[in-house]
């Protein structure tokens, strides 16, 4: 089971925020870009990323450029090698660290879209799902499985709203 969906029914394969279902006959992964079909979702992600606090010790201009790159990565599904080459000596030790840094920022945009979708289908609450291997905040394990308002979150905090958090919000599955 993945997020309450049987693996035999569908295997999600994210690609530039597209959704792909594995075709069991051809083993190919058809995908589409979500932002082409629903461009307003990119605005939701942009707003979340632009409000996202990045705890790097560098100038605001570099952080602003990094946020623009994260938004571009979300829309295009790829990272710019030239941007990574510029970012590494200024903030990170390696390209791998820089790639993970940008991934942490784009995660915020992905989760903002997820929570927006829950509100769009009429949900008022979400269940916090702690991702032990991906979240840098062990205290989020205490939030796992608890319900929160889509308007307030947990004390104003939402899944993936902090740099290093990769938790997710989901609906309560009926038992």
| pLDDT tens digits, 96-122 | 888 888 888 988 998 999 999 999 899
pLDDT at 167: 93
Beta strands in 13-107 (DSSP E): none
pLDDT at 28: 43
pLDDT at 86: 82
Q: Which helix (H) or strand (E) holds 114?
A: helix 95-120
pLDDT at 75: 81
pLDDT at 175: 66
Low-confidence ranges of the chain (pLDDT < 70): 1-34, 77-79, 175
Q: Which two tokens stand for residue 164?
A: 């290093």
């Amino acid at each position: 089971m993945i997020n309450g969906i049987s693996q035999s029914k569908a295997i999600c394969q994210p690609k530039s925020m597209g959704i792909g279902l594995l075709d069991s006959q051809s083993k190919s992964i058809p995908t589409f870009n979500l932002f082409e079909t629903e461009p307003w979702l990119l605005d939701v992600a942009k707003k979340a990323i632009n409000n996202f606090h990045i705890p790097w010790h560098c100038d605001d201009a570099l952080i602003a450029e990094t946020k623009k790159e994260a938004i571009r990565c979300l829309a295009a599904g790829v990272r710019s090698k030239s941007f990574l080459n510029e970012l590494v000596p200024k903030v990170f030790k390696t390209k791998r660290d820089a790639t993970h840094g940008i991934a942490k920022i784009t995660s915020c945009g992905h989760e903002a879209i997820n929570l927006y979708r829950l509100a769009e289908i009429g949900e008022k609450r979400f269940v916090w799902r702690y991702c032990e291997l991906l979240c840098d905040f062990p205290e989020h394990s205490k939030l796992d499985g608890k319900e929160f308002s889509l308007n307030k979150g947990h004390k104003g905090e939402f899944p993936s709203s902090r740099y290093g958090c990769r938790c997710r919000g989901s609906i309560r599955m009926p038992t």
